Structures are given as C-alpha cells and as structure tokens.
Amino acid sequence: MDSIKNQFISFALLLFCAPMALAITVVAKEEAPYFGRTQQGRGLSLEIVETALKRAGFQPSFVFESWTRTYEGGLIGVFDVIGSIWYTKERAKDFAYSDPYIFHEIKFIKKTSSQDIQFNNLNDLHGLLIGTIKGYAYSDAFFQSRQFARIPQNHLLQNLQLLKQGQIDLTLGEQRKIRYQLKKYLPNQSTEMTILPKPLIRKGTHIAVSQNNPKHAEIIAGFNKALKSMKADGSYDSIINKYDSK
C-alpha cells in the first residue's frame, strides 16, 4: 500500500511541478485556404502555426479580425502574435519576426484560350487590361509600369468573373487563393483558366510579436526551433501536401 501511495504522490508532484503551457492569442485575417473558421483543418497557415507553437510549449488560441485590426492589435498588445505578416523594414522597427514558415507566390491567371499571353517580365504585358485588387502590395515596378492598364476591384473573385467574361486579359493573386476560389465558386470554369508559371512576387510569410511584449524573444525562438523540427520529421510537408492535394 505504501508503495502505491508513494507512486501516487510522486506522480502528483510531477504534475504540480510541470511547467504550464503559456496561453497566447494569435490573430489573423480570415482568408481561405490559409486561415478560417469553417474549412476542414481551419487552414494551411493556421495548422502550421498552431503545431509549431504547441511544440514550443505554448497554448495558442486563434481570433480573426480585419487586417487593420490585426496589425494594430498586435502592435499595442491586444493580441500576442500576428499569425501571418510580410516583412518590411518599417514593420521590423516594432515587431520581432519569425523565420518564414511559408512562401506566397503572386501569379497571373489568364483564359486558357489566350495562348499568346505569357509572362516573363513586365514588357510581356504591353497593352493588356489587368484586374488588380485595391490596396494589394504588388511590386513598385508593377505599379509604376505604363505598359498596361490596371483595373482595380475589391476582391479576387470579381476579377475572376471579369476574366471569365472577357472584360480583362489577366488578373493576378496568390496562387493557392486562386485555386481555392476557382474550385469553390467557378468549378465549371477552372479548366478554362490557366495560372502562368512565373510569379510576379514571391514573399515569405512570418509570425510577428510586438517588441513591447516581454515574451517576444521566447515566442519567436520557440517557434523557429519547432518549425525546424517539423521540417525535419516530415510533419511540415504533411500539412502542406494535405492542402495542396485538395
């Protein structure tokens, strides 16, 4: 009896002394297929970020806000972590950044029948009408070029509809978002549209923590270490393949 009692006491002491996972709030803009409330798995980026943070000893919960609220809330400490952000020198004055955990490629999409349209450089776009998204951070060269006309809309889906109707020659967006929206909203037209292979932009996506957060170095270091272990043991590729095969 004493042996069983001593084992129980030892186990209870281990539980009591074990470090509690630090609860942190991760904020992101809801954008399929990366972050979402209802889609299976809740999103590619969410699964990567959640898995890495849990491995690092944190207990993440996720909330969704507009990009403005996401950025401002992360900056002033309403939220602990911004779950998806591109690096800029200006932002790095306020935030500590992780290593990139995924890369976004902004690519052009055309009607498959438009065989003469290709993209290797901006000169290839001479005279074309290109649907863009208002406020999107395309490259400076793309904004400044006079080779083509930019037709701004509020949403990628609007541009895909205009492309389908032949009112624009090209549109562009993040390649996984294009595939997701074609499959969900325009499944019968997906074979009639082709994503061009060369990206206009390729940017790494990071998590970021305000430098005013006393745990910022711990969170970033833990995330980076866990991300490396995920890539080493194959769990990172497993998450990527799960979403890219849908």
Task: Write the DSSP string, 149-218.
Answer: EEEEES-HHHHHHHHHTTS-SEEEEEHHHHHHHHHHH-GGGGGGEEEEEEEEEEEEEEEEEETTSTTHHH
pLDDT digits (tens, 9 = 90+) for 32-43: 899 987 555 689
Domains of the chain: 20-103+203-244 (3.40.190.10), 104-202 (3.40.190.10)
What's the residue count for the chain? 246
The string over 120-130, giving b where at least 16 C-beta atoms fall within 10 Å of a residue's C-beta and e elsewhere, is: eebeebeebbb
* Mean pLDDT confidence for 148-175: 95
pLDDT of amino acid 41 = 62
Q: What is the rounded CA–CA span in Å between residue 198 and residue 108?
A: 8
Q: What is the rounded CA–CA span in Å between residue 86 and residue 17?
A: 39
Q: Please, what is the end-to-end C-alpha distance for the chain in angstroms?
A: 56
Do residues 27 and 82 make contact, with C-beta atoms less than 8 angstroms apart? Answer: yes
pLDDT of amino acid 162 = 96
Closest listed residue to residue 106, CA positions, set 29, 30, 198 = 198
DSSP code of 107?
E
Closest listed residue to residue 200, CA positions, set 151, 135, 130, 134 = 130
pLDDT of amino acid 112 = 94
- pTM comes to 0.83
CA distances (Å), 206 to each of 5, 174, 225, in order?
Answer: 49, 16, 14
* Mean pLDDT confidence for 62-79: 95
